[in-house]
Amino acid sequence: MLKFIARRLGTGAVLLFAVCTLAYFLLYLGSNTIARSILGVQATKADIARFNHMHGLDKSFLESYWGWFTHAVRFDFGSPWTFAQPVTEIVRMRLGTTLILVTSSLTIAAIVSVILGVTAALRGGWIDRIVQFLGLLGFAIPNFLVAFALVIVFAVQHKVFNAVGWTPPGTDFGEFVKSAALPIGALAFTSLASITQQIRGAVRDSLQNDYVRTLRTRGLSYNRVVFKHVLRNAAGPALSILGLQFVGMLGGIVIIEQIFAIPGLGSFGVLATSQKDIPAVMGLVTVTAIIVIVVNLVIDLLSAALNPKVRLA
């Protein structure tokens, strides 16, 4: 187990280095226009030269990257050019916001998916058909359309929840619920489809296995067989899909954060990229890559814990 973790972390470090180097190189390629973009059309040549010198944009790629890298390994991503706080502080604040949205959505989606997926697999019939139809809707409708619909009905027409903005849970829980309900609802709805279908399929497959018949002939109740054995065997694929959904949401949450004007990692990425703020973009790229590597590792470990047959290769 420890060997597996060490090997995965080592591979992750190599991957992280490759991602950061490539990202920095791509950003550096367009760096001759950054000053003009940030300072605006009224900037003089002297303004641009001063900006470039102040932020090291007049250095070579290697010199510039080395300067960033030697600080980044200590998790010092420096001061961004277009934000008030240091990069680490911005990422910390916004990561918290995004993680609240993502984990809340996935938790709700997972709970509802288990209920729907298991029910559909066990009962079959019209219940199964309804669940499959809902799944189809979830696949077909993009999350931003769901978001628009929720905003129009629950914020604009009925003013139950907020259309825009974000209140952290610690500041005012009531306002937090009003600001988070619709974006979480939009994210959860579209995740439901794939998780439900996966659980439904995995449970149905598990039910076909011989051990289920054996356990039933031994006198175990149907519910005990399903909830203690079948679900455990079906959990592996469900966990994998949850992991994929988590990673997918980190990227896909950009649109949701824009629609609801939420200061999360996604909207930070949009701003940092459009403003060509290299320190900000690199901080975001690094943190996101680390999250993806860690999440994948955790999913693998959980899968192995649930199902000893899974070998940690």
Q: Least distance from C-beta 163 to another protein, angstroms?
A: 4
Cβ within 8 Å of residue 149, ≥6 positions away: none
- Identify the DSSP state of 30: T
The answer to whether residue 84 forms part of the interface with another protein (CB under 8 A) is yes
The answer to whether residue 32 forms part of the interface with another protein (CB under 8 A) is yes
Q: 146: which 2 tokens? A: 């769901």
The answer to whether residue 69 forms part of the interface with another protein (CB under 8 A) is no
Among residues 258, 273, 296, 307, which is the contact residue for another protein, using CB under 8 A? Answer: 258
Residue with tokens 């300072």: 39
Q: Least distance from C-beta 67 to another protein, angstroms?
A: 18
Q: Would you list the DSSP string of 90-132?
A: HHHHHHHHHHHHHHHHHHHHHHHHHHHHHHHHHH-HHHHHHHH
SS3 198: helix
Helices then strands, counting H and E runs in the chain, come out as 13, 0
Among residues 16, 19, 23, 43, which is the contact residue for another protein, using CB under 8 A? Answer: 43
The answer to whether residue 98 forms part of the interface with another protein (CB under 8 A) is no
By CB under 8 A, the count of residues binding another protein is: 48
Nearer to another protein, 52 or 132 (CB): 52
Distance CA 187, CA 147 (A): 8
Distance CA 272, CA 35 (A): 14
Q: Angle CA(226)–CA(232)–CA(234) in degrees, nearest 5?
A: 90
The answer to whether residue 103 forms part of the interface with another protein (CB under 8 A) is no
Nearer to another protein, 47 or 205 (CB): 47
Q: Least distance from C-beta 146 to another protein, angstroms?
A: 14
Residues in touch with another protein (CB under 8 A): 30, 32-33, 36, 38-47, 50-51, 54, 82-85, 90, 93-94, 148, 151-152, 155-156, 159, 162-168, 171, 258-263, 267-268, 270-271
